Amino acid sequence: MTLPELAIKDFCSDNCIFQGGMGVGVSLHPLAGAVAQEGGLGIVSSAGLRTIVSKRDGKVVDTYTAVRIELEKAKSSSGGRPIGINVMCAVVGDYEDTIRAALDAGIDAIVSGAGLPLGLPAIQPPGHTALIPIVSSTRALEIIVKRWERIHYRPDAIVLEGPEAGGHLGFKPEEVDDPAFALEKLLPAVLEVAHRHGDFPVIVAGGIYTHEDIVRFLSLGASGVQMGTRFLATNESSATDAYKQAVVDAGKDDITVVAYPDKTPASPCGLPFRILKGSPMYTTKRPALCNKGYVLQRGSDGKLSECQAMPKSPNNQKFLCICSGLLTSAGYAPDLPLYTVGTNAYRVDRIRSVAELMAELRGE
């Protein structure tokens, strides 16, 4: 089957594949640009861009400037094809600056999850940019739609992310392996909500690996798919060679989901977190040394000062410093790396180019 084009708001990509936004520092302009050139939607991860761009370019920049720089590089390398950015709600301190920078850069799509992006359309008029929330349930989608309706906006599309995705998961720990929460079980009800509120496209994510998987979900009513792990193990990915090789070497039993308080050390974001068991930061179970502050939350004084991985926090030994661990996995910090993957990472057997991977996914 030839994969269909995907039209969302004011852009149209040649096929229905979204490349997942993998942070920190895996999905940068080389990967996003390469995917766009092959007809998919290339997506830059905004997580940690202030640190990454400052280190890479040898000058200190703020979040707004870093986002503009990276997106302009991505657009330049895309050959004029669509580019998006993934923005985590959990990165509270940088969220609004990132959204404004992306809109000012004229980006084609903003994909936002790791929390509910309830105020996204109100930050700044989006113009031609498509606003695409990530959800894991009909309840989350209904909440977003109702909140956005108050400011006379509806999602231009959504990403429905199932429990087989990599990194942070929008499920309770006991739901992750429950067949009742499988992606294909979640999709029909979400499609119904989308139909009632304007029939916007639904992009599915989590555990999709082959051309046949893509075709199956299209037949179930999805408009497209988002894939992360497949693009992690490409030449154009900005993951370190050690990270990519760890994925190639991984077996099925090497992948685990950690979640506080049952299985630690875990993510300070409070969400279940899928990683490789062999990640050096996880295997050493070293005390938390939060010093980047990407996922700081507001304390009782209203200031961004709280993170469960900070040395001053109770039980900090139960949490991973994901900021440093993920930065190290992209080569931007001298710390112990932390490797996030999707549930099918064990099926990756070699590193390949984006062009080769996209040809396979298109069924050629």
The answer to whether position 72 is within a domain reads yes
The answer to whether position 291 is within a domain reads yes
- Asked if residue 205 and residue 105 are part of one domain, the reply reads yes
Q: Could you tell me the pTM of the whole model?
A: 0.94
Residue 197 — pLDDT band, cuts 50, 70, 90? very high
Instruction: Please name the residues in contact with 364: beta carbons below 8 A apart, sequence gap of 6 or more.
Output: none
- Per-residue pLDDT at 212: 98
Treating both helix axes as pointing N-terminal to C-terminal, what angle do 29-37 and 354-361 enclose, rounded to 10 degrees? 40
SS3 content of the chain, % helix, strand, coil (to 5): 35, 20, 45
Report whether 141 contacts 193 (CB < 8 A). yes
- Per-residue pLDDT at 280: 94
Range name among 95-109, 229-243, 305-319, 340-354 with the lowest pLDDT average: 305-319
Tell me how crowded residue 166 is: count the other CB atoms within 10 A of its CB: 26
- Per-residue pLDDT at 295: 73
Buried/exposed 62-99: b ≥16 CB within 10 Å, e otherwise = ebbbbbbbbbebbbebbeebbbbbbbbbbbebbbbbbb
pLDDT of 301 strictly over 80: no
Tell me how crowded residue 59 is: count the other CB atoms within 10 A of its CB: 9
- Asked if residue 315 and residue 226 are part of one domain, the reply reads no
Reported as a single tens digit per residue, the pLDDT across 153-184 is 999 999 999 999 999 999 999 999 999 999 99
- Asked if residue 196 and residue 114 are part of one domain, the reply reads yes
- Asked if residue 282 and residue 233 are part of one domain, the reply reads no
Report whether 161 contacts 272 (CB < 8 A). no
- Per-residue pLDDT at 302: 74
- Per-residue pLDDT at 363: 95
- Asked if residue 315 and residue 303 are part of one domain, the reply reads yes
pLDDT of 205 strictly over 90: yes
Q: Per the omega criterion (within 30 degrees of 0), is the bond before 265 cis?
A: yes
Half-sphere exposure of residue 274, counting CA atoms within 13 Å on the CB side? 29
Range name among 49-58, 145-154, 223-232, 304-313 with the lowest pLDDT average: 304-313
- Asked if residue 163 and residue 134 are part of one domain, the reply reads yes
Residue 294 — pLDDT band, cuts 50, 70, 90? confident
Sheet arrangement for strand 109-113: 17-19, 224-227, 202-205, 158-161, 130-135, 109-113, 83-88, 42-45
Question: Closest Cα to residue 227, out of 103, 98, 348, 88?
Answer: 348
- Asked if residue 340 and residue 355 are part of one domain, the reply reads no
Q: Where residue 201 sits, what CATH number does that domain have?
A: 3.20.20.70
pLDDT of 70 strictly over 80: yes
Query: What average pLDDT does range 340-356 have in this prediction?
Result: 97
Buried/exposed 185-215: b ≥16 CB within 10 Å, e otherwise = ebbeebbebbeebeebbbbbbbbbbebebbe
Handedness of CA 67, 69, 70, 71 (dihedral sign): positive
Backbone angles phi, psi at 221, to 5 degrees: 115, -5
Give the residue numbers spanning the domain of 120: 6-240+347-361
The answer to whether position 70 is within a domain reads yes
Q: Are strands 109-113 and 83-88 parallel, antiparallel or unpaired?
A: parallel
Please state, in angstroms and rounded to a whole number, the distance separating the CA atoms of residues 91 and 95.
6
- Per-residue pLDDT at 186: 97
- Asked if residue 151 and residue 47 are part of one domain, the reply reads yes
- Per-residue pLDDT at 307: 81
- Asked if residue 351 and residue 339 are part of one domain, the reply reads no
The answer to whether position 1 is within a domain reads no
Reported as a single tens digit per residue, the pLDDT across 98-129 is 999 999 999 999 999 988 999 999 999 999 99
- Asked if residue 338 and residue 354 are part of one domain, the reply reads no
Please state, in angstroms and rounded to a whole number, the distance separating the CA atoms of residues 70 and 76.
10
- Per-residue pLDDT at 276: 97
The answer to whether position 229 is within a domain reads yes
Reported as a single tens digit per residue, the pLDDT across 219-272 is 999 999 999 999 999 999 999 999 999 999 999 999 999 999 889 899 988 889
- Asked if residue 156 and residue 184 are part of one domain, the reply reads yes
Residue 354 — pLDDT band, cuts 50, 70, 90? very high
The answer to whether position 114 is within a domain reads yes
- Per-residue pLDDT at 353: 98
- Asked if residue 307 and residue 340 are part of one domain, the reply reads yes
Total structural domains within the chain: 2
pLDDT of 285 strictly over 80: no
Higher-pLDDT residue of 289, 279: 279
pLDDT of 335 strictly over 90: no
Residue 297 — pLDDT band, cuts 50, 70, 90? confident
Distances from the Cα of 278 to the Cα of 177, 212, 268, 309, 317, angstroms: 21, 30, 19, 20, 18
Residue 314 — pLDDT band, cuts 50, 70, 90? confident
Question: Closest Cα to residue 46, out of 19, 28, 20?
Answer: 28
Please state, in angstroms and rounded to a whole number, the distance separating the CA atoms of residues 347 and 313.
38
Query: Does an H or E element contain 212, and which?
Result: helix 211-219
Residue 304 — pLDDT band, cuts 50, 70, 90? low
Which DSSP string do the residues of 117-180 spell out, in sequence order?
Answer: -TTHHHHS--TT-EEEEEESSHHHHHHHHHHHHTTT---S-EEEE-TT-SEE-SS-GGGTT-GG
